[in-house]
Amino acid sequence: MQVKAGEVMFEIFSQTDNKIIYAAPDRTILEAMLKAKINHTHVCGGNARCSTCRVYIMDGLSNCQPRNEKEKQLADKLGFPQNIRLACQTKISGNISIRRPVVDELDIEIILKQFDGAPGTKLGQEKDLAILFTDIENYTEFAEALPAYDVVHVLNRYYQTMNEIIIQHKGVISDVAGDGILALFGAIGDSKNPVLDAINAVRAMNAALTQFNGYLNQMYDWSFGIRAGINFGKVIVGNFDTGMMSKISAIGDAVNLASRIETANKDFGTQLLISQSAYEEVQGLVETHKMYRATLKGKSGEYALYEVEI
Ligand code: FES
């Protein structure tokens, strides 16, 4: 960009675009970015209604003018910390560095998504389900190294990606906690072999991580791996309503066992372990590597766990 002599301009360093953009004091960050031909997302057209233009101010927050009334209203509603600003409303009086978290359609969808209730099943049905637990290798280090805002954004993106895959494989996410996902197969829909669906879901999740890691690498110089455990057994499954949200949950020892199996991956250096009961459902249908005999935390005796190729 050409800056004319005598013109007052401040620098915006966009880490996302690895570019310096110049902004006049009477222009918003969004106006400066668009003028510099940067495809800065602004779904509501710069009217402080969508928040998709949000930027993370990495440096120079004191050079951002205070929030105007429109920005304040949206920021309060969404609980933004001070350093998340709407580019369409913010003008600057000095140099700043920013990062744009909303870079593609998936990011927009995450931000704009209205959460609908999942298709349900009646409370109190006893069913044989495949119970899948997953977690992210390297997550703890990632969460410690980055600001909480980025961690939450990345996790939302991860959940969104994995949720679609789980649904495609006839499963449903029952719960998420930190980097962990609990998904149920056979709870809804017409799965003929819930364990096989769960294994195929893990394989697809692992494949999707390759693409996801491209994004993580570019944005944060990081990559994730996935670990998963599957059990098959009888549980009580139903729609549990907490008053604030309704979700499909499963109760029973089979759920606890699936969680322990997932954790056992750390001991054996594996990615996907399944229980004896799960193995019997897919014997001859999937390739297994090694069988481990494991003692599991909170359980007595030894359990046979099978490592499945993903
Ligand atoms: S463009 Fe919608 S809030 Fe800024």
Same domain assignment for residues 282 and 176: yes
Which atom of ligand 1 lies nearest, measured to the CA of 87?
4
Q: Are residues 135 and 102 in the same domain?
A: no
| Test site for ligand 1: of 38, 39, 44, 80, most ligand atoms within 8 A of the Cβ | 44
The predicted model gives 55-80 an average pLDDT of: 92
Looking at the structure of the chain, the number of domains it has is: 2
Tell me how far apart the alpha carbons of residues 182 and 185 are, in angstroms, rounded to a whole number.
10
Q: Which one of 78, 112, 146 terminates a domain?
A: 112
Q: Tell how far the Cα of 65 is from the centroid of ligand 1, in angstroms.
A: 17
Percent of the chain with pLDDT over 70: 89
Q: Which helix (H) or strand (E) holds 275?
A: strand 272-275
In a domain, 5, yes or no: no
| Gap between the Cα atoms of 249 and 177, Å rounded | 14
**Confidence category of residue 239, pLDDT binned at 50, 70, 90:** low
Can you give the pLDDT at residue 120? 39
Pair 108, 130 in one domain: no
Is 2 a domain residue? Answer: no
Closest atom of ligand 1 relative to the 46 alpha carbon = 1
**300 or 174, which is more confident?**
174
43/156: higher pLDDT: 156
Last residue of a domain, one of 112, 135, 165: 112
Whether residues 108 and 129 share a domain: the answer is no
Clarify whether residues 36 and 136 are in a common domain: no
**Which of 112, 147, 181 is at the close of a domain?**
112
Kindly state the average pLDDT of the residues 149-176: 88
At 61, give phi and psi (nearest 5°): -60, -35
Mean pLDDT of the chain: 86
With a cut of 80, say whether residue 227 has pLDDT above it: yes
Distance 162 CA to ligand 1 centre (A): 27
| Residue 145 CA to ligand 1 centre (angstroms) | 29
Claim to verify: residue 132 and residue 211 sit in the same structural domain: yes
Which atom, in ligand 1's list, is nearest to the CA of 54? 4
Residues 95 and 237 reside in one and the same domain: no
The whole-number average pLDDT for the span 234-263 is 77
Q: How confident is the model at residue 78 (pLDDT cuts 50, 70, 90)?
A: confident
Nearest to 292 by CA among 277, 263, 270, 309: 270
Pocket of ligand 1 (CB under 6 A): 42-44, 46-53, 86, 88
**Does residue 229 form part of some domain?**
yes
Distance from residue 87's CA to the centre of ligand 1 (Å): 7
Quick one: which atom of ligand 1 is closest to the CA of 89?
Answer: 4
Residue 123 confidence (pLDDT) above 50: no
Query: What's the CATH code of the domain at 226?
Result: 3.30.70.1230
User: Do the beta carbons of residue 285 and residue 247 sit within 8 Å?
Assistant: no
pLDDT of 191 over the 60 cut: yes
Q: What is the pLDDT of residues 160-173, one digit of tens each?
A: 899 989 989 989 88
Q: Are residues 132 and 244 in the same domain?
A: yes
Q: Taking each helix axis from N to C terminus, what angle separates 148-168 and 194-220, rounded to the nearest 10 degrees? A: 150
- Two structure tokens written together for 207: 């494949």
Backbone angles phi, psi at 47, to 5 degrees: -105, 15
Q: Ligand 1 pocket: which of 39, 40, 42 to mutate (most atoms <8 Å of CB)?
A: 42
Round to whole Å and give the CA distance between 165 and 184.
13
Of the two residues 123 and 267, the one the predictor is more confident about is: 267
| pLDDT-based confidence at residue 282 (cuts at 50, 70, 90) | very high
3 assigned to some structural domain: no
CB 119 within 8 A of CB 187: no
Please tell me whether residues 205 and 286 are part of one structural domain. yes
Give the residue numbers spanning the domain of 223: 125-308
Residue (of 23, 19, 18) closest to 3 by Cα position: 23
pLDDT at 51: 85
pTM of the model: 0.64
Q: Which residues contact 282 (CB under 8 A, 6 or more apart)?
A: 193, 195, 196, 199, 274
